[in-house]
Structure 1
Amino acid sequence: MILDTNVVIDLIDGAGSADFVARIAALQSRHSLVVNEIIFAEISSRYASADDVFELLSALRLRLIRLSLVDCHRAGAAFGVYRREGRSRTTILPDFLIGAQAEGQGWPIVTRDRKGFAKYFPKVDLIDPYEGS
């Protein structure tokens, strides 16, 4: 199960309610929670070094799982659909890489942004940690 950057930031900042924290703890008791190098990069601006980010991930009990080339290809294919729909963004969006990896691994995504993932990765289960079980 992969955590989207917005959920990791909420964990770091302590922004979630007690229910949010309990839901993440419940997920963590049943599943390995992971991030990839895209999420690592997105949270890195808050820290002085990569070692600091690794320490944070360890403290949160999050594993770093790298993207495969197949994941990258899947992301590129989804991004191609996005571009053919007339979208103006010309560089790949991080969510395409996160969604592609989740789809390839069969992982749900824990995110506050279900709409964006649902459109391009409809096979992926999406979990909003702010909603009830």
Structure 2
Amino acid sequence: MTLVDTNVLLDLVTDDANWADWSIARLEAASLNGPLLINDAVYAELAVRYDRIESIDAFLDEAGLQMAPMPRAALFLAGKVFTQYRKSGGSRTGVLPDFFIGAHAAVDGLPLLTRDVGRYRTYFPSLKLIAPGA
């Protein structure tokens, strides 16, 4: 099983010239190790690109992605590491979904397929990342 970050899916949705091929190849490779998962935070971030729930659900179905609920322990951990981030001078306000995603992967022991490694490496150092250069 692999948890997939929003940025990887947006590469597919937008057919990103720089990253779509990389993301498709990593999704295909990860699917050989079990189901590809997203959580509520990824779903919500991805939903910004869709006008209808049926459209996003069709994309997820076509991509072979399954919803995985976030464990309560992951929600708690996300809040704690977000507090740590803010106390250490972090000022960006739109980063909380990253902490939900990282905490979910950490608590469930899932590898995380992402292109955005900075905060994950800093706040979830034990997390196995599938990322460029990793």
- Global fold match (TM > 0.5): yes
CA distance in 1, matches of 2:83, 2:22: 38
What's the TM-score once normalised by structure 1's chain length? 0.87
Partner of 1:83: 86
Secondary structure of the structure 2 residue equivalent to 1:2: strand
Partner of 1:96: 99
Kindly tell me the number of residue pairs found equivalent between the two proteins.
Answer: 131
Q: Is the 8 A contact 1:67 1:101 kept in 2?
A: yes
CA RMSD of aligned residues (A): 2.0
Q: Is the 8 A contact 2:81 2:123 kept in 1?
A: yes
Report the CA distance between 1:72 and its aligned residue.
0.6
Q: What fraction of aligned residue pairs are identical, expressed as a percent?
A: 34
Q: Is the 8 A contact 1:4 1:110 kept in 2?
A: yes
CA distance in 1, matches of 2:20, 2:56: 24
- Describe the superposition over 1:21-51 as per-residue Cα deviations: whole angstroms up to 9, x where unpaired: 2332121122211111111111112212222
Question: Structure 1: which 5+ runs fail to align?
Answer: none
What's the TM-score once normalised by structure 2's chain length? 0.86
* Superposed counterparts of 1:1-133, under 5 Å: 1-15=2-16, 16=19, 18-89=21-92, 93-128=96-131, 130-131=132-133
CA distance in 1, matches of 2:95, 2:117: 18
CA distance in 2, matches of 1:53, 1:61: 12
AA at the equivalent of 1:10: D
Counterparts in 2 of 1:84 and 1:30: CA distance versus 1, 3 Å:
same
Secondary structure of the structure 2 residue equivalent to 1:66: coil
Question: Structure 2: which 5+ runs fail to align?
Answer: none
AA at the equivalent of 1:96: F
Q: Is the 8 A contact 1:76 1:92 kept in 2?
A: no
